[in-house]
């Protein structure tokens, strides 16, 4: 399995475009199954069927220069920041990966087992998420188009700007007309362990978790993938409504 450790805090739309570019390359048999580990600066990432004005406080996002971007997969809005480590798996649509629920179970259990083995955490998998002591520390989603893009988060530490301030699903009166977010009480590995868990520790944990999916081989984004991502980046940027 090609492993890309890509921790640069670049424009979120570019990071989302890379997701599509790698999936297209994989679906065209140009690259092998891939694990990408990456981060975003502060940003709101909404699901494919959501409306930005219903999911994010756009005025606060404007004041704090927090972009809103859209991902190809469904599900609810999430708050990205440098303490949130993202992982993306690009896999074939056969065997157990052909079933949405089974894919959630398999990836979630790999991550949960790594958390148990590394830090002795009582990690549980529930509906495409991993919980520790009742707190959600990882949420996951998937997108299928001639291949499986399975991506998720791992909250290493919480941001100084609480997600409750920017995500409307965590505020009173939330009633979207599109696909709703389903918020759960969230936490971080650092908060649970009582010490800061550095990015390098999170990377090692993810490498350990997904080792059963294939022998890891260090790789990088190809020039073809970069070129396609740069062309696709505007597609994933969410325009702000007038007046925000």
Share of the chain above pLDDT 90, in %: 90
Instruction: Please say if the pLDDT value at position 243 is more than 70.
Output: no
Q: Residue 49: what pLDDT?
A: 87
Neighbours of 92 (CB within 10 A): 13
CB 146 within 8 Å of CB 97: no
Q: Looking at residues 16-38, what average pLDDT do you find?
A: 96
Instruction: Please say if the pLDDT value at position 136 is more than 60.
Output: yes
Q: Residue 72: what pLDDT?
A: 87
CB 123 within 8 Å of CB 112: yes
Instruction: Please say if the pLDDT value at position 75 is more than 80.
Output: yes
Q: Looking at residues 31-50, what average pLDDT do you find?
A: 96
Tell me the pLDDT tens digit for each residue of 82-126: 999 999 999 999 999 999 999 999 999 999 999 999 999 999 999
CB 135 within 8 Å of CB 190: no
CATH superfamily of 2-236: Bira Bifunctional Protein; Domain 2 (3.30.930.10)
Q: Residue 242: what pLDDT?
A: 54
Pairwise CA distance, residues 188 & 135, whole Å? 8
Instruction: Please say if the pLDDT value at position 244 is more than 90.
Output: no
CB 64 within 8 Å of CB 161: yes
Instruction: Please say if the pLDDT value at position 241 is more than 80.
Output: no
């Amino acid at each position: 399995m090609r492993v890309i450790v890509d921790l640069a805090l670049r424009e979120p739309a570019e990071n989302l475009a890379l997701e599509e570019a790698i999936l297209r390359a994989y679906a065209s048999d140009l690259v092998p199954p891939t694990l990408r580990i990456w981060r975003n600066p502060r940003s709101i990432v909404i699901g494919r069927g959501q409306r930005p004005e219903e999911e994010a406080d756009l005025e606060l996002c404007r004041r704090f220069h927090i972009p809103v971007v859209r991902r190809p997969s469904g599900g609810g809005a999430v708050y990205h920041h440098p303490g949130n480590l993202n992982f993306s798996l690009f896999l074939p649509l056969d065997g157990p990966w052909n079933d949405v629920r089974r894919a959630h179970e398999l990836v979630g259990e790999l991550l949960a087992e790594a958390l148990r083995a590394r830090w002795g955490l009582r990690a549980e998998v529930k509906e495409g998420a991993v919980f520790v002591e009742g707190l959600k520390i990882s949420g996951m989603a998937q997108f299928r188009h001639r291949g499986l893009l399975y991506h998720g988060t791992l909250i290493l530490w919480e941001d100084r700007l609480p997600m409750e301030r920017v995500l409307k699903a965590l505020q009173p009166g939330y009633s979207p007309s599109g696909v709703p977010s389903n918020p759960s009480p969230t936490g971080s590995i650092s908060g649970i362990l009582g010490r800061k868990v550095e990015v390098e520790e999170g990377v090692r944990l993810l490498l350990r978790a997904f080792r059963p999916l294939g022998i890891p081989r260090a790789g990088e984004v190809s020039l073809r993938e970069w070129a396609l991502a740069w062309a696709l980046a505007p597609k994933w940027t969410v325009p702000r409504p007038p007046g925000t």
